[in-house]
Amino acid sequence: MTSSNRYTASEILTVLSARALENGQLVFAGIGIPLLAATLAQRLGRPGLTILFEGGVIGAFVEPGKLPPSTNDQRCTKRANMVLGSADVLLLLQRGYVDIGFMGGAQIDQYGNLNSSFIGDPDAPKVRLPGSGGGNDISSLTNMIVAMKHEKRRFVEQVDFITSPGYLRGQNSRTDAGLPAGGVFRVITELAVFGFDAETRRIKVLSLNPGVTAEEVQDNTGFPLTFDDGVTVTEPPTNEELETLRMLDPERLFTA
Q: Which of the pair, 23 or 89, is modelled with greater confidence?
A: 23
- In tens, the pLDDT along 175-185 reads 999 999 999 99
| Banded model confidence at residue 1, pLDDT cuts 50, 70, 90 | very low
Catalytic residue among 54, 151, 190, 215: 54
Q: Where are the domains of the chain?
A: 9-248
Closest alpha carbon to 205 in 217, 216, 223: 217
Computed on alpha carbons and rounded to an integer, the radius of gyration of the chain in Å comes to 18
pLDDT value at residue 28: 92
| pLDDT tens per residue, range 3-53 | 456 899 999 999 999 999 999 999 998 888 988 999 999 999 999 999 998
- State percent of the chain over pLDDT 90: 71
In the prediction, which pLDDT does 5 show?
Answer: 64
What's the whole-number average pLDDT of the chain? Answer: 92
Residue type, 223: F
Angle, CA of 166, 183 and 33, to the nearest 5°: 85
Res 216 pLDDT > 80: yes
pTM for the predicted model, two decimal places: 0.92
For the chain, percent of residues with pLDDT exceeding 70: 98
Output the pLDDT for position 29.
Answer: 87
User: Does residue 54 have an active-site annotation?
Assistant: yes
Give the alpha-carbon dihedral of 22, 24, 25, 27, to 10 degrees.
100
Phi then psi for residue 160, to 5 deg, are -70, -25
Whether the Cβ atoms of residue 170 and residue 112 lie closer than 8 Å to each other: no
Q: What is the pLDDT of residues 100-137, one digit of tens each?
A: 999 888 999 999 999 999 999 988 999 998 888 888 99
CATH of segment(s) 9-248: 3.40.1080.10
